[in-house]
Amino acid sequence: MRSLIEKLLEEGQGVLRLAPAWVPRSFCRPGKRLKLHPDDYYVLGLERGGIDERWFSSTIRAENGPGTPEDEGLSYAVSSDGTERVLLKEIIDEMKGQIVGDDIWNQYRGWPVYAKLFDNLGPLPHHVHHNDEAAARVGKKSKHEMYFFPAQLNNHVGEFPYTFFGFNPGVTKEQVKETLMNFGKGDNRITNLSRAYKLTLDTGFDVPPGILHAPGSLCTYEPQLASDVFAMYQSVLSGEHVVPESLLWKDAPPEEVGNYDYLISILDWESNVDPDFYQKHFMAPKPVRPIEEMRAEGYVEEWICYKCKLVSAKRLTVLPGRTVTIRDSAAYGLYMLQGHGKLGVWDLETPTLIRYGQLTNDEFFVTAPAAKAGVTVTNRSKTEPLVMLKHFSENSELPIS
């Protein structure tokens, strides 16, 4: 395996080409904005659900219950001719800091983040991701996630382009507990205690562990910590779609199942009822440098997810006909949103339609040495910008705010 890994790294000059990792969810309905062929959204079978997620630079397996393949959600690095492939996780485990950087490897012994496209026709249930303490009780890690709503992937906004976050100020724990106790009796109306925010394209939100949230129906780019831990607190969605009660107790220790006070305890209560929630968690793009300076050099780069030091993301736009060399202080995964061109030795493309199992040239992983040395990006169009999204683990250049 080592020789194959070294071959892939040499072929890409430190940049790995990744195959699409498609993930179904039995409780979701695809919004069909992932560029997957219309015939393939249910290719894995109705019992597995429709494909409404694509995972990027992932080293964790999707938790989709019985029948889930061992490699579902995991990213593969593939050769230029598509004949050879290795799991990104195996490459990192073998090469360690030569891939993710010594600082990341020494702290996490792996790649601690991934990103996904979430593409649901309607909203998700009001749900929470466990904090470190609660996740550790079931042998997992907490999950901090961030949202960004790319205009390029939202030709329609779905059924409910609004996201509920937390609770209205003044809501009590007893009120929330009552809704949870009513979960199996029909609509528990937990979102009656919350407020929804209209989603705006090309902006996003920061969502730490312990925050209840019901993501809206925009196709969403989500950089996040590498965990699939969650619990659903809403029983009936808009459109009368029912959530199984088993998901209320997902990732609860066996001894806590049935203990509604435990479900309350894993919430970050003060943040959930914070009247300034929007001001603290909303994110609009922030240029990494003055825009006119960057445009003169042929590009614009912006932080789009920047309120957590553990995971972050940028949007890079290369102007038509320009070539730029971009340096970053840390390894990153990238996904192509728009345009075509070159990334080092690799062709860059943004396919219109992808068959399940088909390889693409729209996803890559840039190793730490390559990121620091600089990657040359060429936009081969004379009229269209080339746009990519880049997600990082810890990045020393991040402007925390």
Residue 324 within a domain: yes
pLDDT digits (tens, 9 = 90+) for 170-204: 999 999 999 999 999 999 999 999 999 999 999 99
Asked whether residue 278 falls in the same domain as residue 135, the answer is yes
Looking at the structure, tell me whether residues 264 and 356 fall in a common domain. no
Q: Which residues constitute the domain of residue 359?
A: 286-392
> Within this chain, do residues 193 and 306 fall inside the same structural domain, yes or no?
no
Asked whether the beta carbons of 375 and 364 are under 8 A apart, the reply is no
CA distance 336 to 387: 6
pLDDT digits (tens, 9 = 90+) for 355-376: 999 999 999 999 999 999 999 9
Give how many domains the chain has, as a whole number: 2
95 phi/psi in degrees, rounded to 5: -100, -15
Q: How is 262-288 classified by DSSP, letter by letter?
A: HHHHTS-HHHHT-TTHHHHHEE--EES
Could you read off the pLDDT of 287-331 as tens digits, one per residue? 999 999 999 999 999 999 999 999 999 999 999 999 999 999 999
Q: Is residue 134 part of a domain?
A: yes
CA angle 65, 71, 77 (to 5 degrees): 155
Work out the mean pLDDT of the chain and round it to a whole number.
95
Question: What would the mean pLDDT of 83-104 be, rounded to a whole number?
Answer: 97
| Residue at 399 is within a domain | no
- CATH number for position 86: 2.60.120.10
Domain stops at, among 226, 259, 283: 283
- Is position 104 within any domain? yes
Let me know if 133 is exposed, middle or buried by CB neighbors in 10 A (0-12, 13-18, 19+): exposed
Rg of the chain, C-alpha, whole Å: 21
pLDDT at 240 over 80: no
With beta carbons less than 8 A apart as the criterion, state whether 78 and 359 touch: yes
Q: What is the pLDDT of residue 401?
A: 59
* Residues 371 and 223 occupy one common structural domain: no
Tell whether 143 and 161 lie within a shared domain: yes
Give the residue among 218, 249, 245 at the shortest CA–CA distance from 119: 218
**End-of-domain residue from the set 283, 312, 339:** 283
Longest dimension (CA), the chain: 62
What pLDDT, on a 0 to 100 scale, did the predictor assign at position 289? Answer: 96
- 235 & 334 share domain: no
Q: Which of 238, 254, 283 is the last residue of a domain?
A: 283
| pTM (predicted TM-score) | 0.95
130 and 55 in a common domain: yes
**Judgement on whether residues 20 and 147 belong to the same structural domain of the protein:** yes
Instruction: Please enumerate in sequence order all residues whose Cβ is within 8 A of that of 133, keeping only pairs 6 or more positions apart, or say none.
Output: none
Per residue in 146-157, pLDDT tens? 999 999 999 999
141 lies in some domain:
yes
pLDDT for residue 239 is more than 80: no
Same domain, 194 and 61: yes
CB 205 within 8 A of CB 277: no
360 inside domain: yes
Q: Do 313 and 232 lie in a common domain? A: no
**Are 80 and 197 part of one and the same domain?**
yes
Is 255 among the domain residues?
A: yes
The answer to the question of residue 189 being in a domain is yes
Q: Same structural domain for residues 269 and 176? A: yes
